[in-house]
Structures are given as C-alpha cells and as structure tokens.
Structure 1
Amino acid sequence: MVNVLFVCLGNICRSPMAEAVFKHLIQNEKLEQYIQVDSAATSGWHIGNPPHKGTIAKLKEYNISTKGMAGRQLKEEDFEEFDYIVGMDENNIRDIRKMLGQPNHPKIIRFLDLTIHKKDVPDPYFTGDFQETYDLVIEGCEALLNKVKSDHKELLQS
C-alpha cells in the first residue's frame, strides 16, 4: 500500500481539496486498493471541522466528494505511516520538517514542484480564489499520481 498525505496550514482548503481530487483520480484509475490518501494541518485551528465551504462548493462543481472529511493536525507518527508527505507551500514544508524532525527527507515534497510551476499553491482562505487553487491542485495531483505510479510500478501492476 502506498500512503499519501497532503498538508497545509489549516486542513480546510488546500490539503482537503488535494485529498479529494487525488482520491477521485485514484478511483477513476481503479487504484484505491493500492493507494490511500489523507490530509492534515500544521496548525491545530480546525481540528474536527469539515472542509471550508468554498472548497466543498468548488469540488461539488466537479462532482468530487468531501464526504467524511474532517480537519486534523499533523503528528509525528505520520512520518512513519506515509510514503509521500506533500506540503502546499514553502511555509508548510518548513513546518512539516520542523514538526517531524526530518529536515531534508525526500518523502517531504512541495506539491507544485512536481509540475512546471515550481511554486506555492495560493491559499484560497486568504485569496478567495478557489478556482485558481482547484486548477493547480488538479495539475499537481495528476503529476503526483504519475510519480506514484512510476515509483511503485511493481505494486500497481500486481
């Protein structure tokens, strides 16, 4: 099993959007028995809360479910459980490395570094632009899924 964790500041906008989109892509490719996905926050502000209403509305436009999703905070055990820990921006990456005590571990990656953009995913909590975030999340999730499939060919072909 390959485990993927998306991380942002509050776990109500970007990381749950990425979690839902990634799950949707995995289901479309019938890979859900091989890949598990979750999301978390570097802060504890929204623990137990559902995704932001803007995230829910944007994903609903594309028939992507957020059912059962609730905010949680990143914990030390996540470093052992997850194969990919994907931060949405450079601040998230810094905080992940500090929280997990793993400053340069290759499993910690900035989401859009997998795309041509090589930049942070803007936080729609502050920008209000959930469409821009969604467009970048789609691109990032497709790139990440390609990486996971390439990195784990033997598992996914069994």
Structure 2
Amino acid sequence: MATRVLFVCLGNICRSPTAEAVFRGLRPDLPTDSAGTAGYHVGEPPYGPMQAAARKRGIKMDDLRARQFIARDFARFDLILAMDADNLRNIEALRPAGAATPVRLFTDFGSDAGAVPDPYYTRDFDGALDIIEAAAQGLAEALD
C-alpha cells in the first residue's frame, strides 16, 4: 500500500500546500493532502504571493484549498508532517487514544533549518521554498 502523507502548517495557505505540491511533483504515485491546525482560511486557495513564488519554479498548486486538521486525519494518513514545532504540538494535542500514526517535522527529511518559517509573516517565500524543496526531496528518497 502506498504511504499516505499529510503536510500541516498553521493556516494551510502557504507552507503545507506548497509542500504538498512540491512533493506530489516528485512522487505523484503517493496520496497526499495538506491541512492547517487553525481554521482561518478553510476553503481558500493558497496565498497569492506563495503561489507566484512557486509558479516561478514550475510548481502548480492553484487546485488546492485550505482545510483544517482533524483528529480523524490520524486514521487517514500513514505519516503526518508538521512545518514547525508549534504545529507539531497542536497536531499531537488532537491525537486520539491508540493512534500510532507518526508525526514528524517536515525538515527532518533533508533540511537543517529545523522548521519551515511561515512566509505569510516573514515574506520570504523563496527562502521557504528552498527549505520545502530540500525536505521534499529527502522525503521522496526516504519513501523509495
């Protein structure tokens, strides 16, 4: 069975949809999704400036829409990847009793950044993309 991967950030309009789009370009054979720990942007497309930065690198994500992370995601996915430690804590706070799905930092897979800084606040969309691309490549190789 293919590994089902969920990428999670705060609002699901910058980091996690970008991570999903980059990763699905590398591993289109694996089911993916993205979500946010907060419901600020449910139903919205990825943030315009993030899409523009990604588009310059040939990354398409305008088909994605934000959704909020829910406890049922532990059963729906085989691996949940958080963009930073705060997201990881918020995900773990929703872990149902007995759920064994691993939750890790996305940057554990090929970036020494420790986290993907939120470009919604930092405005460094290219810097976030650099980290995301490195981690996505490492994840794609790890799941081979």
Q: Which runs of 5+ in 2 are unaligned?
A: none
What is the identity, as a one-letter code, of the residue corresponding to 1:120?
Answer: A
Which range moves more in the overlay, 99-108 or 132-141? Answer: 99-108
Q: Give the TM-score taking structure 2 as reference length.
A: 0.92
Cα distance between partner residues in 2 of 1:70 and 1:12: 8
Residue 24 of structure 1 deviates from its aligned partner by 1.0
CA shift, 1:102, in A, is 6.4
Q: Does 1:139 align with 2:134?
A: yes
Deviations for 1:91-116, whole angstroms, at most 9, x for unmatched residues? 00000000224699561000112225
Contact 1:2–1:36 (CA<8 Å) still a contact in 2? Answer: yes
TM-score (norm 1): 0.85
Please give the secondary structure, in 2, of the residue aligned with 1:135.
helix
RMSD (CA atoms) = 1.8
Check conservation: 2:16, 2:35, Cα contact below 8 A.
yes
Q: Distance in 2 between matches of 1:102 and 1:119?
A: 28
Task: Describe the SS at the equivalent of 1:113.
Answer: helix
Q: Is 1:114–2:109 an aligned residue pair?
A: yes
Residues 94-145 of structure 1, C-alpha deviations (whole Å, 9 max, x = no match): 0000022469956100011222515111000010000000000000001111
Greater CA radius of gyration, 1 or 2? 1
Instruction: Confirm or deny: 8 A CA contact 1:87 1:108 kept in the other structure.
Output: yes
Identity %: 38
Greater helix proportion:
1
Residue number in structure 2 paired with 1:128: 123
Contact 2:80 2:102 (8 Å CA) reproduced: yes
2:13 is matched by which residue type in structure 1?
A: I
Structure 1 residue runs of 5 or longer lacking an equivalent are: 150-158
Give the 3 Å change call, closer, same or farther, for CA 70–63 of structure 1 in structure 2: same
Runs of 4+ aligned structure 1 residues displaced above 6 Å come to none
Q: How far, CA to CA, are the matches of 1:113 and 1:26 in structure 2?
A: 18
The one of 41, 54, 60 equivalent to 1:46 is: 41
